[in-house]
Amino acid sequence: MQTGVPEDCPQQSPADAGRLAHYLAAWQLSDPQVLAQTRNSCVYTVTHAGAPAVLKLLAAHEREEQRGALALRHFDGRGAVRLLRADEGAQLLEYAAGDELVTLVARGEDEHATRIIAQVLRQLHGAPADAAPAGLVPLEVWFAALFARAAADRQAGVASIYVRGAAVAAELLATPRDVCALHGDIHHYNIRHSPRGWLAFDPKGLLGERTYDCANALCNPVLPDLVFDPARLLRNASILAESLDLELPRVLAFTYAYACLNASWWLELGDAAILQWSLDVAALVEPLLAAAATSSIHAPVNAPALQQE
């Protein structure tokens, strides 16, 4: 079998090249080809036991990918790529080589894509909740950046969207429902087609109410004319709620809270474009929350105020 090292991954050091050679030999892999470079890993396609697979070489001290591996082991192929091998330095994954889900949206099949997201989530959340592994991040911890931003704004006397978003998040997290292992980053670019159907990859490895996994999907894909249409957002939120037996007001509330959380992250990281996108999504969802129920985010799916939208 061919076991040569391909062109260097962007920013790959000689030590990384040595690590690649190590895993090619240790895990009996061949035909490595650079697939992607992320801040957490250098990603290759390889051949494993005669089939294509994905090899991730992890950055030093990387923890997010380690949590993702915990989630993938727990999902065990239900709605997600299978984790074939892993250690602290690398992961070998099933390769979903088909189209990204966003290609359906580009063909005008936005609602179909949303129904596929619901199918994937139903499979992911079908893993035994009582067997969720230790080491997943609870949503209470995941939202820390939003709570910190809101606290700073309150101290400064600023009634910001971060303050309002943190209040919604705190109420949601105080009344959790159907807690299970979460993917944590479900959207149209993290789901691909494979011979086993549509599969998610790159989970964050979270633990909390399953409704949260709908939120990022409603903030995507990166097509402004689509995402910033309130009728589209409400329609797709309704599809997810009905398909997954969730309460529509909570789907909207988690979407709002997540958009505020994402904005708080990118406020710190300094990406103005993603920051503004997240704030714009939050501003879009906020009046829908008020329309749903001014007194509660726990109304049933068929709340009359929502049906009037």
Strands (E), the chain: 29-37, 41-48, 51-58, 83-86, 90-94, 137-138, 179-182, 191-194, 197-200, 206-209
Among residues 185, 213, 225, 229, the one annotated as catalytic is 185
Which residues have CB under 8 Å from 43's CB, separation 6+?
9, 34, 35, 36, 37, 54, 55, 56, 57
**Ramachandran assignment for 253, one of left (phi > 0), alpha (psi -120 to 50 degrees), beta (any other):** alpha
What's the one-letter identity of residue 38?
A: T
Active-site residue flag, 99? no
The label of the residue with tokens 């939003």 reads 146
What is the C-alpha separation between 262 and 141, in angstroms, rounded?
14
Exposed / middle / buried, residue 251 (Cβ in 10 Å: 0-12, 13-18, 19+) = buried
Task: Give catalytic residues, as residue numbers.
Answer: 185
